[in-house]
Amino acid sequence: MSRLEILRFALRGLAANKLRSFLTTLGILIGVAAVILLVAFGEGASQSIQKSIQRLGANTLTVSASFGGGGFGGPAAGGSRQGNGPRTQARQLTLEDAKALADPEQVPSAKSVSPVVSTGSATAVRDGASHTISQLVGTYPSYFEATNKPVETGSYFVNDDVLAARKVMVVGKTVATELFGTANPVGEQVSLSGVPFTVIGVLKESGSSGLGSQDADDVAIVPLPAVQQSLTGFGALSSIVVQATGTDTTTSAQNEVTAVLNQRHGITPTGSADYRILNQATLQETVSSTVGIFTGLLGAVAAISLLVGGIGITNIMLVTVTERTREIGIRKAIGAPRGAILGQFLLEATVLSLLGGLTGVLIAFVGTRFTVAGIEPVLVPSSIALALGVSVGIGLFFGGYPANRAAKLRPIEALRHE
C-alpha cells in the first residue's frame, strides 16, 4: 500500500466529515493567528516605545529643576506650590550652571553641554499663514547632536549665531509644511510673536511619535539668546542637556554632574536636590523592562488562547478516533495493516493541523498589515514557529495517540466498540 494511497484515504476521510474537519481547522487557525498577532502587536508596541526613547538622543542626561520652572517640553507651571524639598535653598538652573558643567576639569565625561529654554506654543506667522508651534527651543548648536536631530535641508546654526543672538531658526517638518507647504522654507522669514526670524534649516522628519501624543516634528530651534531676548527673557533655564562621551560614561557623567550641581546649589549629602537628572540609559532600561512585562502578558494571553485551541483540537481528534473505532475494526477485518490505519489517521490530523496552522499564519500576516491604536505590529518569526509547532504537535499527538491505540485492538474489539 503506497503512501499516496494512504494520503488519498486520509483526504477521503476528511471529506467524509466536512463540518468536523472545518471546525478542527478553525480551532487551530484561531489559536495560531491569535498567538502570532498578539506577539506581533506586543513587539510592535515595544519597538515603537524604544524608538521614541532613542529619538530623544543617545547617552544624554537631561537636568531640570525639580520644582516647576518649566520641565522639559512642558509649559511652564510656575511656582513651587507643591514643593516639599528645602524651599529656602531651592534654586533654578542658570546659564552659569551650564557653564560650570561644561568645564572639562570637573565633568570630564561630558562631550557637550547645551542649556535649553523651551516654551510651549509660540505663534509663527508668515505671509498670512499662521501656525502655533507646540515647542520652541532656545539652545546651543550642540543640542542638535545631543538630542539626535539632524538637519535635512539648509544648515544648523553655529556658535557665532548664538554669540550674536541672531534671529535664525531651524524648524521641524510639521512647522515647515504648515507654513510653507511644499515650498523650500530655507532663507524665508517667519515672525515669532512679532519678532522676525530667518529659517536656515529644516530638521529631518523624526517619524510619527508612536504612542506619544505630541508631534515631535512640531518644533522650532533657535539660538538661546535669541529666544531669551525676544520671548522668554533672561531667566532660568528649562533644562540642561548633557551628552556623555559614550554609552559607558553616562553613569560617571551623571555622578559628575550631580557633584557640580550639589556644590553650586549648596546641597548637602543628606538634603534633597532641587534638580533632577533624567538619564536616557536608565530611562531606556526602565521602559524596556516595563515593555517586557507588557509583552510577557500578551504572550501569556496568547499562550492561553493556544492552549484553549489545543484543547479544542484534542477534543475533536479524540472524538473522531473514538467515533471511528468501528471503522478501524472494519478496516482491520478486511486486512488493513496497522501501519496503514495509523498512517491514515496521522495524515488526517496532519492535513487538518497544517491547513489550519498555515491559514492562521496567513491571516496573521494579513492582520499585521493593519495599524491598530497607533501600534504597528511587527511579526516575530519565533512566534510563528512556536504557534505552528504547538498546534501541529497537539494535532498529531492527539490524532495519532488514540488512533494508535485503536489500531492495536483486535479487530473484534474495535468492531464491538460503540
Partner 1 sequence: MTAPVLSLTDITKVYGRGDAQVRALRGVSLTVERGDYVAVMGASGSGKSTLMNILGCLDIPSSGRYLIDGVDVGTLDERRLAILRNRKIGFVFQSFNLIPRMSALANVELPMAYGGVSATERRTRALAALEQVGLSDRVRHEPNELSGGQQQRVAVARALVTSPALLLADEPTGNLDTKATGDVLEILDGLSEAGRTIVLITHEDDVAAHAKRVIRLVDGLVVDDHRQAPVDGPPPRSATRTQPVPGGAS
Q: In sequence order, what are the beta bridge partners of 181?
A: none
Residues 100-119 that bind partner 1 (CB under 8 A): none
Question: Smallest gap, in angstroms, from Cβ of residue 34 to partner 1?
Answer: 33
| Residue pair 121/134 in contact by the 8 Å Cβ criterion | yes
- Residue 36, SS3 per DSSP: helix
| Residue pair 33/364 in contact by the 8 Å Cβ criterion | yes
Q: Which three cell numbers stand for residue 344?
A: 491514515
- Nearer to partner 1 by Cβ, of 12 and 87: the residue is 12
* Helix axis angle, 338-367 to 3-16, nearest 10°: 60
Question: Smallest gap, in angstroms, from Cβ of residue 415 to partner 1?
Answer: 7
Q: In sequence order, what are the beta bridge partners of 202?
A: 153, 171
Q: In sequence order, what are the beta bridge partners of 129?
A: 126
Q: Which of 181, 187, 335, 381 binds partner 1 (CB under 8 A)?
A: 335
Q: Which of 3, 334, 382, 418 binds partner 1 (CB under 8 A)?
A: 334
Q: Which of 340, 358, 378, 379 binds partner 1 (CB under 8 A)?
A: 340
Distances (CA, A) of 93 to 70, 71, 197, 216, 239: 11, 11, 27, 25, 7
**Residues 235-274 vs partner 1: string with x where CB under 8 A?**
----------------------------------------
Question: Smallest gap, in angstroms, from Cβ of residue 321 to partner 1?
Answer: 15
Q: Which of 120, 209, 327, 397 binds partner 1 (CB under 8 A)?
A: 327
| Residue pair 162/199 in contact by the 8 Å Cβ criterion | no
Determine if 51 is a binding residue for partner 1 (CB under 8 A).
no
Determine if 418 is a binding residue for partner 1 (CB under 8 A).
no
Q: Which of 1, 77, 372, 385 binds partner 1 (CB under 8 A)?
A: 1
Determine if 304 is a binding residue for partner 1 (CB under 8 A).
no
Measured distance CA(64)–CA(97) in Å, rounded? 11
Segment near partner 1 (CB under 8 A), from 4-12, 193-201, 314-322, 372-380? 4-12
Determine if 86 is a binding residue for partner 1 (CB under 8 A).
no
Q: DSSP string covering 187-207, please?
A: T-EEEETTEEEEEEEEEPP--
Determine if 319 is a binding residue for partner 1 (CB under 8 A).
no
- Nearer to partner 1 by Cβ, of 166 and 332: the residue is 332
- Residue 50, SS3 per DSSP: helix
Count the helix, strand and coil residues of the chain and give each as a percent rounded to the nearest 5.
55, 15, 30
- Using CB under 8 A as the binding criterion, the count of chain residues that bind partner 1 stands at 23
Measured distance CA(400)–CA(318) in Å, rounded? 9
Q: DSSP string covering 146-177, please?
A: HTT--EEEE----HHHHHTT--EEEE-HHHHH
Determine if 331 is a binding residue for partner 1 (CB under 8 A).
yes
Q: In sequence order, what are the beta bridge partners of 119?
A: 136
Determine if 330 is a binding residue for partner 1 (CB under 8 A).
yes
Residues 376-415 that bind partner 1 (CB under 8 A): 410-412, 415
Burial of 88 (0-12, 13-18, 19+ CB in 10 A): exposed
- Nearer to partner 1 by Cβ, of 28 and 336: the residue is 336
Determine if 300 is a binding residue for partner 1 (CB under 8 A).
no
Other C-beta atoms closer than 10 Å to the C-beta of 386 total 19
Residue type, 129: A
- Nearer to partner 1 by Cβ, of 215 and 327: the residue is 327
**Residues 11-30 vs partner 1: string with x where CB under 8 A?**
-x---xx-------------
Q: Which of 196, 246, 337, 393 binds partner 1 (CB under 8 A)?
A: 337
Question: Smallest gap, in angstroms, from Cβ of residue 400 to partner 1?
Answer: 18
Determine if 373 is a binding residue for partner 1 (CB under 8 A).
no
Where does this chain bind partner 1 (CB under 8 A)? 1, 5, 9, 12, 16-17, 326-327, 329-338, 340, 410-412, 415
